[in-house]
Structure 1
Amino acid sequence: MTGPKKWLAVIGIGEEGQAGLSAAARSLLEQAQILVGGRRHLGFLDEGDRRERLVWESPLQKTIDTILQRRGQRVCVLATGDPMWYGIGATLARQIPLEEMTLIPAPSAFSLACSRLGWPLADVDTLSLCGRPADLLLGYLYPGVRLLLLSGDRQTPVIVAQRLTEAGFGESQMTVLERMGSPEERLIQGPAATWAHEDLANLNTIAIEVRGENQQRRCVPGLPDGAYCHDGQLTKREIRAVTLSSLAPQPGQLLWDVGAGCGSISIEWLRSDRRCRAIAIESHPQRRQYLADNAAALGVPYLEIVAGKAPDVLADLPQPHCIFIGGGLTTPKVLETCWQALPPGGRLVVNAVTVESEQTLFQAQQLWGGELTRIAIQRAQPLGRFLSWKAMAPVTQWSVWKE
């Protein structure tokens, strides 16, 4: 019994065009009946080539559907650099079995940029801003970090320079590398704060050496309270750090943040790993605006925000791995609905500050187990010429793993 036929080839191609292709890639290209790519990619082919061509449309899925309709014919997709690194190869692999595909990468823009700059690629953070919000950059900014960004177009470097400057990293050194591998290759450098280069090619990659100081940029949970816009409904820094530790985020997991307030828990959950996902449930319109603003400012603009009250809005949400309840605990059926939504091995963490909500937690702990912890924090504050301890409202936390 033979396996499925490989009918789709996805080939990385650089600015050298066909001359830079390997023998295997050139053979697949020659055998193809249908050629797919952007106008720039297809422009690398001979003018006399009369084979059928498909140019990527918007939305992209429209062309992918056409490719799927040609299953069984020999289709060749031309892509920039490495198709599996922020490329079309990764998109196609989610819809087409790997057994039906052949993938041949060329050097990625990141590899080429590192070869020009002498940067070890293993020590560099990478990000694509092609069709993605520029606010994503804000989640990558730490003093001393080296970043490589794929640009959306010639305007992206100006936007990046503005974001860096606004975030307190205007000293950062930016390098824009244009059309690497072509005779028109060019390298432009300058600090973000005074960046004024606008005559750029649409095909460019941005390298950044992040410089500057910003105390709100931390890799660990517990950002300063001042990092958030809020109306007082904020899980304070010390409590937030303990809560994230109890939630124990893992890459790719989904969090429900029920009664999210300004979103500090779900935002720091997302910041713990770029593959984490979160849904913030909040009924108050002003707090939802704070949620959106804070998520963008702290580099996680993809935080999903759901308007409404639990438990009513929970029924249609995707199943979570973890749930945090920070508000609305005494609303009937909230705790029971959240518990039922968790899969085996899921985690539930609840913070309570009122006697009534503490009673609810005690009853739940008797029923489902888990740990009850009381967290009391005091901060030193001026009292005349001296310092005095001022106690924050104590928080009772219930943390439980569902068996």
Structure 2
Amino acid sequence: MDKQNVKLGNAKFGSAAQIRSTRGLPSVFPREMGPNTLSYLQQVVESGLASDMVTRFEKVLAEAHGRQYCMLTPGCTNALFALFAGLEFKPGDEIIVSPIADYGDLAGLLFHNYIPVFCDTEPGTGLISAETIEPCITERTRAILAVNFFGLPCDYDPIMALARKHNLVVIEDVCQSILSTYKGRLAGTLADVAVFSFDSEKTMGADMGGAILTDDQELYDRIVNRSIARGAVNYPGFGRKHVYQGLALRAPQCTAATCLGNWEILPRQVEARMRSAAMLNDKIRSIPGVQVYEVPADRTHTYWMYGFSVEPSQLSCTADQLADELLEAGIPCGMGKYYVLPAGVPFLAEKVAQGVYPFNVPTASRAVNYDADEIVPNAVAFMNRWIRWMWTEKYSDQDVELMASIIEEVCSRHRIEEDEQ
């Protein structure tokens, strides 16, 4: 795209980024707040900021997932930054990353001078697998960052087996998939360490927030020192000395209070999301040109977003055109091509081309290719056909009926009859 001919604006997030339905479908905002949220906030105020609401929520989240250690952060990008501060890799070491993800998955590793390597997804799934990861492993690979796409976990058992074979750390990005399951186990318990998001638009939205869960005490201690204590330790007779170039990523008490309040209503909300999404799947599955996302039998999908793929051979329009017409008709949907990270972060290719540290060889062992069409064709193909929108527990049966009727009506305008195919 020619930047000189296009007016560029800053990206929007949270409620400011929400698309409103022209047919009265409920929006994600305003969010339902747990009935105890105001009480928890009041406790923060009445204590004169002396309440330890952060530790209280950390304990709740860790115990719910059977994890030993939890650290709450101001946001999910902060959580990943803190995690990569605690992982003692070297500049130029490689992290294999899901190609369909958010920039927050890259920010922390890039600031610590690690190099992202994007593996492809399995066709038609948006999810990485052991089979797509393995060709990307080199002698410089140190970790795998697996993203649970829009609410659905990856197939973790083979990924963990592959990681153990190569002595790699596996990071589970649960930001979109809180309370989803894999073989009966909760997302957030499936890998060595997990990161969460409680940003306002997420399945469990707070005012902001992120978290790290792990059972590795040494890793946890390093994360806390480098991202809470700013890399400082106390020396007798002197005081604190900063032995690491750390940051202060302490979560606010009010963030913890809203997290705690909304955690208490999350199971009911997730159940409602899953029920209405399953209902819409059933209603649109037979529409020509629409391919619903089939959830594997060993997993549950908690639907941070809902989406379906377009089968272009059955429609006389592109996926982009269909999305535009669905939006005009009342479904607050759109394409999400920017989720293909190699295409969405062009500065990476620029750094490689210019040999900017740590992409210079050495420090890097090789020049990494960030051409999305070449390295992750399955991910590109998937997102070029994927129409999605923010899902909400507010959807009623009548809302689902309306969405199904809109999809049927719009698709019928472009249906190609069998004798035309």
Q: TM-score range by the shorter chain?
A: under 0.3
Scaled by the length of structure 2, the TM-score of the pair is 0.26
User: Which structure's residues are more often helix, by fraction?
Assistant: 2
Q: TM-score, normalised by structure 1?
A: 0.27
